[in-house]
């Protein structure tokens, strides 16, 4: 999100206000906000203050930390502080491994249906990429009865709304091969808008919902065969990362696959996972 300059009339977050808000973010999201993030937090809260007609961060804290505020405002506050950066076919080797190795391994000697979970799906590029490559797999293996379901979750209601719409600027879908763009995207009738939308058939393969990964239980149908949780744990401390992946293992089927970001690692964690590829793990 682009940072906004602080209006002269708006005083900075006090140290106590920042501590309260950063502690809340850490407790709800597992994300650490050191003092160096104070200016970032101020800039991201400004739009919300204007929308609520509040004149200071002190007024916002008063609103947020009363009982009614936690029920009505917390979700908006968390939307503002989460970072949502993703692309179609990001870390493309994962999608190649998915259809060349993971899916055939899962289908061997069992049902021709696989279930996937895109955790931290942001604005939808990852689950739609999954849906495209799996739809292609089904198309190229006609008669095998292959099918799939995708649960896509994020904590941000703002990005989930965008993901559900499945509308993107044409420049956003540039990483998608042209053949897939023709098959799975519809161009806007207004050519001047340069927008495309994911086809209804592809959108129907994905169920979007809000899930906080810090919750004790997830509204996910288990067991799941494949979990994509990429470039999410980098914001968490090590103990939180290990707890999160331990919980993922509880939701995965034996022999299932976990995909994480290329800059992330599970090294040093006591988990029933075996590394089988570049940032790919199998549930033992």
Active site residues: 44, 154
**Cα–Cα distance between 138 and 151 in angstroms, integer?**
18
H or E element that contains 184: helix 178-184
Q: What is the C-alpha separation between 108 and 93, in angstroms, rounded?
A: 22
Q: Which residues pair with 210 in a beta bridge?
A: 154
CA distance 15 to 215: 28
Question: What angle is formed at CA 180 by the lines to CA 178 and CA 184, rounded to 5 degrees?
Answer: 125
Q: Identify the DSSP state of 13.
A: P
What are the residues whose beta carbons fall under 8 Å from the beta carbon of 266, sequence distance 6 or more?
245, 260, 273, 275, 281
Listed in sequence order, the residues at least 6 apart from 176 whose beta carbon sits closer than 8 Å to its beta carbon are 88, 89, 129, 132, 184, 185
DSSP annotation string for 227-268: EEE-S-GGGB-HHHHHHHHHHHHHHEEEEEEEEE-TT---TT
């Amino acid at each position: 999100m682009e940072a906004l300059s602080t209006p002269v009339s708006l005083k900075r977050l006090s140290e106590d206000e920042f501590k309260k808000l950063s502690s809340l973010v850490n407790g709800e999201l597992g994300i650490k906000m050191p003092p160096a993030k104070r200016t970032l937090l101020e800039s991201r809260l400004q739009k919300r203050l204007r929308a609520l007609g509040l004149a200071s961060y002190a007024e916002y804290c008063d609103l947020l930390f009363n009982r009614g505020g936690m029920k009505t405002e917390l979700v908006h506050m968390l939307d503002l502080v989460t970072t949502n950066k993703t692309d179609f076919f990001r870390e493309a080797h994962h999608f190649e491994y998915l259809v060349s190795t993971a899916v055939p391994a899962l289908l061997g000697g069992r049902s021709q249906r696989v279930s996937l979970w895109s955790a931290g799906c942001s604005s939808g590029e990852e689950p739609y990429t999954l849906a495209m490559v799996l739809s292609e797999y089904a198309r190229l293996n006609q008669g095998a009865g292959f099918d799939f379901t995708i649960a896509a979750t994020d904590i941000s209601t703002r990005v989930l709304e965008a993901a559900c719409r499945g509308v993107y600027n044409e420049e956003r879908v540039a990483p998608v091969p042209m053949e897939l763009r023709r098959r799975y995207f519809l161009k806007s009738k207004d050519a001047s808008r340069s927008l495309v939308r994911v086809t209804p058939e592809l959108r129907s393969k994905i169920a979007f919902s809000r899930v906080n990964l810090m919750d004790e239980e997830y509204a996910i149908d288990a067991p799941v065969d494949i979990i994509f949780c990429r470039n999410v744990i980098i914001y968490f401390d090590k103990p939180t990362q290990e707890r999160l992946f331990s919980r993922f293992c509880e939701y995965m089927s034996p022999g299932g696959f976990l995909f994480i970001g290329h800059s992330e690692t599970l090294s040093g964690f006591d988990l029933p996972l075996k590394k089988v590829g570049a940032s790919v793990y199998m549930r033992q």
